A and B are shown apart, each in its own frame.
Chain A
Protein backbone atom coordinates (compact mmCIF):
# COMPACT_ATOMS: atom_id res chain seq x y z
CA UNK A 1 0.00 0.00 0.00
CA UNK A 2 1.44 3.36 -0.99
CA UNK A 3 1.80 6.46 1.14
CA UNK A 4 -0.78 8.27 -0.96
CA UNK A 5 -3.30 5.54 -0.43
CA UNK A 6 -2.71 5.63 3.30
CA UNK A 7 -3.18 9.40 3.26
CA UNK A 8 -6.45 9.00 1.45
CA UNK A 9 -7.71 6.45 3.92
CA UNK A 10 -6.73 8.66 6.83
CA UNK A 11 -8.41 11.68 5.27
CA UNK A 12 -11.56 9.72 4.58
CA UNK A 13 -11.89 8.31 8.08
CA UNK A 14 -11.12 11.67 9.66
CA UNK A 15 -13.91 13.27 7.70
CA UNK A 16 -16.58 10.66 8.14
CA UNK A 17 -16.05 8.49 11.16
CA UNK A 18 -14.37 10.54 13.86
CA UNK A 19 -15.99 12.46 16.68
CA UNK A 20 -14.16 15.75 17.08
CA UNK A 21 -13.34 17.52 20.29
CA UNK A 22 -12.17 21.03 20.91
CA UNK A 23 -8.43 21.35 20.33
CA UNK A 24 -7.85 23.61 23.32
CA UNK A 25 -9.43 21.02 25.57
CA UNK A 26 -6.87 18.46 24.46
CA UNK A 27 -3.94 20.84 24.54
CA UNK A 28 -4.70 22.31 27.94
CA UNK A 29 -5.53 18.95 29.48
CA UNK A 30 -2.30 17.41 28.27
CA UNK A 31 -0.31 20.50 29.26
CA UNK A 32 -1.74 20.34 32.74
CA UNK A 33 -0.86 16.67 33.07
CA UNK A 34 2.74 17.31 32.14
CA UNK A 35 3.02 20.36 34.37
CA UNK A 36 1.54 18.40 37.25
CA UNK A 37 3.94 15.52 36.70
CA UNK A 38 6.85 17.94 36.71
CA UNK A 39 5.62 19.27 40.02
CA UNK A 40 4.93 15.85 41.53
CA UNK A 41 8.34 14.53 40.57
CA UNK A 42 10.07 17.67 41.71
CA UNK A 43 11.29 18.53 38.23
CA UNK A 44 12.98 15.18 37.81
CA UNK A 45 12.43 15.26 34.06
CA UNK A 46 13.80 11.79 33.36
CA UNK A 47 11.13 10.43 35.63
CA UNK A 48 8.48 12.62 33.98
CA UNK A 49 9.50 11.30 30.56
CA UNK A 50 9.20 7.77 31.89
CA UNK A 51 5.77 8.38 33.38
CA UNK A 52 4.49 9.98 30.17
CA UNK A 53 5.76 7.02 28.22
CA UNK A 54 4.02 4.65 30.60
CA UNK A 55 0.75 6.57 30.33
CA UNK A 56 1.07 6.50 26.58
CA UNK A 57 1.72 2.76 26.64
CA UNK A 58 -1.52 2.20 28.48
CA UNK A 59 -3.36 4.42 26.04
CA UNK A 60 -1.82 2.72 23.03
CA UNK A 61 -2.80 -0.75 24.17
CA UNK A 62 -6.42 0.32 24.15
CA UNK A 63 -6.30 2.73 21.28
CA UNK A 64 -5.14 0.11 18.78
CA UNK A 65 -8.45 -1.67 19.09
CA UNK A 66 -10.31 1.52 18.29
CA UNK A 67 -7.92 2.25 15.46
CA UNK A 68 -8.42 -1.13 13.83
CA UNK A 69 -12.17 -0.91 14.20
CA UNK A 70 -12.40 2.58 12.71
CA UNK A 71 -9.90 2.13 9.94
CA UNK A 72 -10.72 -1.42 9.01
CA UNK A 73 -7.24 -1.89 7.61
CA UNK A 74 -5.67 -5.28 7.50
CA UNK A 75 -2.23 -6.56 8.32
CA UNK A 76 0.71 -4.54 7.04
CA UNK A 77 3.04 -6.41 4.71
CA UNK A 78 6.20 -4.84 6.06
CA UNK A 79 7.49 -2.27 8.49
CA UNK A 80 7.49 0.46 5.84
CA UNK A 81 3.80 0.00 5.39
CA UNK A 82 3.35 0.09 9.14
CA UNK A 83 5.14 3.42 9.26
CA UNK A 84 2.83 4.94 6.65
CA UNK A 85 -0.14 3.54 8.47
CA UNK A 86 0.97 5.14 11.73
CA UNK A 87 1.78 8.49 10.20
CA UNK A 88 -0.97 8.96 7.67
CA UNK A 89 -3.85 7.08 9.24
CA UNK A 90 -3.15 6.75 12.96
CA UNK A 91 -1.93 10.27 13.68
CA UNK A 92 -4.39 11.67 11.18
CA UNK A 93 -7.50 10.25 12.74
CA UNK A 94 -6.55 10.78 16.36
CA UNK A 95 -4.67 14.08 16.25
CA UNK A 96 -5.37 15.38 12.75
CA UNK A 97 -1.70 15.68 11.93
CA UNK A 98 0.23 13.65 9.38
CA UNK A 99 3.92 13.53 10.26
CA UNK A 100 6.42 12.85 7.51
CA UNK A 101 8.06 9.42 7.46
CA UNK A 102 11.72 9.71 6.61
CA UNK A 103 15.33 8.77 7.41
CA UNK A 104 14.96 5.04 6.89
CA UNK A 105 17.90 2.88 7.73
CA UNK A 106 18.99 0.51 5.00
CA UNK A 107 17.59 -2.52 6.79
CA UNK A 108 14.14 -0.88 6.87
CA UNK A 109 13.93 -1.27 10.61
CA UNK A 110 14.23 2.33 11.73
CA UNK A 111 12.53 5.51 10.63
CA UNK A 112 11.83 9.03 11.81
CA UNK A 113 8.55 10.85 12.12
CA UNK A 114 8.84 14.59 11.55
CA UNK A 115 6.01 16.59 13.06
CA UNK A 116 5.31 19.89 11.33
CA UNK A 117 2.53 20.57 13.71
CA UNK A 118 2.06 19.19 17.19
CA UNK A 119 -1.31 19.92 18.75
CA UNK A 120 -0.12 18.73 22.16
CA UNK A 121 2.48 21.45 22.33
CA UNK A 122 0.48 24.51 21.26
CA UNK A 123 1.03 27.48 23.59
CA UNK A 124 3.71 25.62 25.50
CA UNK A 125 6.97 27.07 26.69
CA UNK A 126 9.20 24.78 28.68
CA UNK A 127 10.10 25.91 32.20
CA UNK A 128 13.05 28.24 32.23
CA UNK A 129 15.10 26.37 34.81
CA UNK A 130 18.04 25.51 32.57
CA UNK A 131 17.30 21.77 32.66
CA UNK A 132 13.87 21.29 31.11
CA UNK A 133 15.23 22.40 27.75
CA UNK A 134 17.72 19.55 27.83
CA UNK A 135 15.86 16.86 29.69
CA UNK A 136 12.10 17.04 29.24
CA UNK A 137 10.45 15.52 26.18
CA UNK A 138 7.14 17.29 26.42
CA UNK A 139 5.25 15.06 23.98
CA UNK A 140 6.79 11.82 25.22
CA UNK A 141 3.36 10.30 25.67
CA UNK A 142 3.26 9.75 21.91
CA UNK A 143 6.25 7.38 22.11
CA UNK A 144 4.40 5.29 24.65
CA UNK A 145 1.26 5.26 22.54
CA UNK A 146 3.14 3.84 19.57
CA UNK A 147 4.92 1.29 21.73
CA UNK A 148 1.70 0.11 23.32
CA UNK A 149 -0.28 0.03 20.13
CA UNK A 150 2.32 -1.85 18.10
CA UNK A 151 2.94 -4.33 20.86
CA UNK A 152 -0.69 -5.36 20.59
CA UNK A 153 -0.16 -6.21 16.95
CA UNK A 154 2.95 -8.29 17.53
CA UNK A 155 5.60 -5.67 17.01
CA UNK A 156 8.04 -4.73 19.69
CA UNK A 157 9.40 -1.31 18.97
CA UNK A 158 11.42 1.36 20.65
CA UNK A 159 10.45 5.01 20.18
CA UNK A 160 12.01 8.20 21.44
CA UNK A 161 12.18 11.85 20.52
CA UNK A 162 15.44 13.14 19.15
CA UNK A 163 14.49 16.79 18.71
CA UNK A 164 11.64 19.10 19.64
CA UNK A 165 10.83 22.63 18.53
CA UNK A 166 9.99 23.40 22.14
CA UNK A 167 13.65 22.95 22.94
CA UNK A 168 14.62 25.34 20.20
CA UNK A 169 15.33 22.67 17.58
CA UNK A 170 14.26 23.23 13.98
CA UNK A 171 12.00 20.21 13.85
CA UNK A 172 10.17 17.82 16.10
CA UNK A 173 11.44 14.36 15.30
CA UNK A 174 10.63 10.99 16.76
CA UNK A 175 12.82 7.98 16.04
CA UNK A 176 11.07 4.62 15.85
CA UNK A 177 12.93 1.34 15.61
CA UNK A 178 11.62 -2.15 15.26
CA UNK A 179 13.11 -4.49 17.82
CA UNK A 180 11.43 -7.70 16.73
CA UNK A 181 8.20 -9.26 15.64
CA UNK A 182 6.69 -11.00 18.61
CA UNK A 183 5.94 -14.61 17.80
CA UNK A 184 2.93 -16.10 19.39
CA UNK A 185 4.14 -17.26 22.72
CA UNK A 186 2.74 -19.83 24.99
CA UNK A 187 1.02 -18.27 27.95
CA UNK A 188 3.12 -18.53 31.09
CA UNK A 189 2.25 -21.60 33.04
CA UNK A 190 0.42 -21.31 36.28
CA UNK A 191 2.47 -22.18 39.27
Chain B
Protein backbone atom coordinates (compact mmCIF):
# COMPACT_ATOMS: atom_id res chain seq x y z
CA UNK B 1 0.00 0.00 0.00
CA UNK B 2 1.44 3.30 -1.03
CA UNK B 3 1.82 6.05 1.45
CA UNK B 4 -0.18 9.22 0.89
CA UNK B 5 1.82 12.06 -0.58
CA UNK B 6 1.40 15.79 -0.87
CA UNK B 7 0.14 16.80 -4.29
CA UNK B 8 0.03 20.53 -3.86
CA UNK B 9 0.95 23.22 -1.35
CA UNK B 10 -0.59 26.65 -1.51
CA UNK B 11 0.42 29.69 0.52
CA UNK B 12 -2.30 32.29 0.23
CA UNK B 13 -2.06 35.82 1.55
CA UNK B 14 -4.42 37.83 3.67
CA UNK B 15 -6.40 39.16 0.72
CA UNK B 16 -6.71 35.73 -0.88
CA UNK B 17 -3.80 36.56 -3.14
CA UNK B 18 -1.63 33.57 -3.96
CA UNK B 19 1.85 34.00 -2.52
CA UNK B 20 3.18 30.71 -3.66
CA UNK B 21 1.77 27.52 -5.16
CA UNK B 22 3.91 24.45 -5.45
CA UNK B 23 2.84 21.30 -7.30
CA UNK B 24 4.37 17.88 -6.85
CA UNK B 25 4.57 14.97 -9.24
CA UNK B 26 2.55 13.51 -10.85
CA UNK B 27 0.58 16.76 -10.80
CA UNK B 28 3.34 19.13 -11.82
CA UNK B 29 1.51 20.22 -14.96
CA UNK B 30 -1.95 20.63 -13.49
CA UNK B 31 -1.64 24.25 -12.43
CA UNK B 32 -5.10 25.29 -13.59
CA UNK B 33 -6.91 22.40 -11.93
CA UNK B 34 -5.18 23.00 -8.64
CA UNK B 35 -5.74 26.73 -8.81
CA UNK B 36 -9.44 25.95 -8.98
CA UNK B 37 -9.19 23.56 -6.06
CA UNK B 38 -7.30 26.05 -3.93
CA UNK B 39 -9.78 28.74 -4.83
CA UNK B 40 -12.69 26.62 -3.73
CA UNK B 41 -10.89 25.90 -0.48
CA UNK B 42 -10.66 29.63 0.24
CA UNK B 43 -14.44 29.77 0.33
CA UNK B 44 -14.44 27.07 2.96
CA UNK B 45 -12.01 29.14 4.99
CA UNK B 46 -14.46 32.02 4.82
CA UNK B 47 -17.43 29.90 5.82
CA UNK B 48 -15.64 28.32 8.75
CA UNK B 49 -14.45 31.69 9.98
CA UNK B 50 -18.00 32.98 10.04
CA UNK B 51 -19.44 29.97 11.76
CA UNK B 52 -17.12 29.59 14.69
CA UNK B 53 -14.10 31.02 16.27
CA UNK B 54 -11.56 28.66 14.88
CA UNK B 55 -8.25 27.23 15.78
CA UNK B 56 -5.22 27.67 13.54
CA UNK B 57 -5.52 24.09 12.35
CA UNK B 58 -8.67 23.74 10.30
CA UNK B 59 -8.07 20.09 9.52
CA UNK B 60 -9.85 18.55 6.58
CA UNK B 61 -11.52 21.21 4.44
CA UNK B 62 -13.03 18.90 1.92
CA UNK B 63 -12.42 15.60 0.24
CA UNK B 64 -12.39 16.40 -3.44
CA UNK B 65 -12.66 12.85 -4.70
CA UNK B 66 -11.54 9.45 -3.49
CA UNK B 67 -8.01 10.47 -4.20
CA UNK B 68 -7.47 14.10 -3.25
CA UNK B 69 -8.23 15.80 0.03
CA UNK B 70 -7.58 19.38 1.05
CA UNK B 71 -6.38 20.44 4.48
CA UNK B 72 -6.04 23.97 5.73
CA UNK B 73 -4.24 26.06 8.30
CA UNK B 74 -4.97 29.68 9.08
CA UNK B 75 -2.42 31.84 10.84
CA UNK B 76 -3.54 34.61 13.13
CA UNK B 77 -2.53 37.13 10.49
CA UNK B 78 -4.93 35.46 8.04
CA UNK B 79 -2.30 33.86 5.89
CA UNK B 80 -3.70 30.59 4.65
CA UNK B 81 -1.67 27.47 4.24
CA UNK B 82 -3.26 24.75 2.13
CA UNK B 83 -2.11 21.23 1.54
CA UNK B 84 -3.78 18.93 -0.94
CA UNK B 85 -2.96 15.33 -0.18
CA UNK B 86 -2.93 12.56 -2.73
CA UNK B 87 -4.13 9.54 -0.78
CA UNK B 88 -2.93 7.05 -3.39
CA UNK B 89 0.65 8.23 -3.32
CA UNK B 90 2.88 8.32 -6.33
CA UNK B 91 4.39 4.88 -6.43
CA UNK B 92 1.20 2.97 -7.13
CA UNK B 93 -0.60 5.59 -9.08
CA UNK B 94 -1.56 2.90 -11.60
CA UNK B 95 -3.00 0.36 -9.22
CA UNK B 96 -6.08 2.18 -8.11
CA UNK B 97 -7.96 0.83 -5.15
CA UNK B 98 -5.03 0.50 -2.85
CA UNK B 99 -5.63 3.85 -1.28
CA UNK B 100 -5.52 4.10 2.43
CA UNK B 101 -8.86 4.93 3.93
CA UNK B 102 -7.59 8.26 5.15
CA UNK B 103 -4.98 9.97 7.20
CA UNK B 104 -5.23 11.36 10.63
CA UNK B 105 -5.50 15.10 10.72
CA UNK B 106 -2.67 15.23 13.19
CA UNK B 107 -0.43 13.71 10.52
CA UNK B 108 -0.32 16.99 8.67
CA UNK B 109 0.50 19.09 11.68
CA UNK B 110 4.28 18.82 11.26
CA UNK B 111 3.94 19.80 7.62
CA UNK B 112 1.92 22.89 8.47
CA UNK B 113 4.32 23.79 11.25
CA UNK B 114 7.26 23.49 8.86
CA UNK B 115 5.49 25.68 6.33
CA UNK B 116 4.70 28.25 8.94
CA UNK B 117 8.32 28.27 10.06
CA UNK B 118 9.40 28.79 6.46
CA UNK B 119 6.99 31.68 6.14
CA UNK B 120 8.26 33.26 9.35
CA UNK B 121 11.82 32.92 8.07
CA UNK B 122 10.74 34.69 4.92
CA UNK B 123 9.15 37.54 6.83
CA UNK B 124 12.18 38.06 9.02
CA UNK B 125 14.40 38.75 6.05
CA UNK B 126 14.64 42.54 6.05
CA UNK B 127 14.79 42.65 2.27
CA UNK B 128 11.46 40.89 1.90
CA UNK B 129 8.70 43.41 1.76
CA UNK B 130 5.26 41.96 2.48
CA UNK B 131 3.62 45.01 0.95
CA UNK B 132 4.96 44.11 -2.47
CA UNK B 133 2.93 40.96 -2.36
CA UNK B 134 -0.36 42.40 -1.20
CA UNK B 135 -2.83 43.80 -3.67
CA UNK B 136 -2.95 47.57 -3.44
CA UNK B 137 -5.95 48.92 -1.66
CA UNK B 138 -8.71 49.95 -3.97
CA UNK B 139 -7.91 47.35 -6.57
CA UNK B 140 -10.66 44.97 -7.47
CA UNK B 141 -10.80 41.32 -6.57
CA UNK B 142 -10.04 40.46 -10.14
CA UNK B 143 -6.62 42.03 -10.02
CA UNK B 144 -5.69 40.24 -6.83
CA UNK B 145 -4.32 37.37 -8.83
CA UNK B 146 -2.03 39.70 -10.74
CA UNK B 147 -0.01 40.77 -7.74
CA UNK B 148 3.42 39.45 -7.23
CA UNK B 149 4.17 35.97 -5.99
CA UNK B 150 7.02 35.18 -3.65
CA UNK B 151 10.21 34.47 -5.56
CA UNK B 152 12.53 33.97 -2.62
CA UNK B 153 14.57 30.85 -3.40
CA UNK B 154 15.03 29.78 0.20
CA UNK B 155 11.31 29.91 0.84
CA UNK B 156 10.51 28.00 -2.32
CA UNK B 157 13.10 25.38 -1.46
CA UNK B 158 11.64 25.01 2.03
CA UNK B 159 8.14 24.51 0.64
CA UNK B 160 9.46 21.97 -1.84
CA UNK B 161 11.26 20.11 0.87
CA UNK B 162 8.13 19.87 2.99
CA UNK B 163 6.10 18.60 0.08
CA UNK B 164 8.63 15.99 -0.92
CA UNK B 165 9.56 14.79 2.53
CA UNK B 166 6.14 14.51 4.07
CA UNK B 167 4.53 11.14 4.72
CA UNK B 168 2.15 10.34 7.55
CA UNK B 169 4.12 10.27 10.75
CA UNK B 170 7.25 11.77 9.22
CA UNK B 171 9.28 14.23 11.23
CA UNK B 172 10.03 17.38 9.28
Contacts and interface: CB of A to CB of B under 8 A. Distances in A.
A28 B152 CA distance: 18
A35 interface: yes
Contacts of A27: 124
A125 B127 contact: yes
24 contacts: A24-B124, A27-B124, A30-B126, A31-B124, A31-B125, A31-B127, A32-B126, A34-B126, A35-B127, A38-B127, A123-B121, A123-B124, A123-B125, A123-B126, A124-B125, A124-B126, A124-B127, A125-B125, A125-B154, A126-B127, A127-B127, A128-B151, A128-B152, A128-B153
A191 to B, nearest CB: 46
Chain B binding surface SS class: loop
Interface string B114-135: 0000000100111111000000
Interface string A22-48: 001001101110110010000000000
B127 A28 contact: no
Nearest to A122: B124
6 closest cross-chain pairs (CB), A and B: A31-B126, A123-B124, A35-B126, A127-B127, A125-B125, A123-B125
Nearest to A32: B126
Nearest to B151: A128
Interface residues of B, number: 11
Interface in A57-112: none
B153 to A, nearest CB: 8
Nearest to A38: B127
Contacts of B128: 125
Nearest to A31: B126
A28 B126 contact: yes
Contact of B124 (A28, A34, A38, A128): A28
Given A30-B126, A31-B125, 18 more contacts: A24-B124, A28-B124, A28-B126, A31-B124, A31-B126, A31-B127, A35-B126, A38-B127, A123-B121, A123-B124, A123-B125, A124-B125, A124-B126, A124-B127, A125-B125, A125-B127, A125-B154, A128-B153
Nearest to A33: B126
Nearest to A132: B127
A125 B152 contact: yes
A56 B8 CA distance: 47
A34 B127 CA distance: 9
Interface string B133-155: 00000000000000000011110
A30 B153 CA distance: 23
A28 B126 CA distance: 7
Interface in A129-153: none
Q: Which of B124, B152, B154 has the most A CB atoms < 10 Å from its CB?
A: B124
Nearest to B127: A127
A123 B123 CA distance: 9
A87 B82 CA distance: 47
A35 B131 CA distance: 14
Nearest to B152: A125
A119 to B, nearest CB: 13
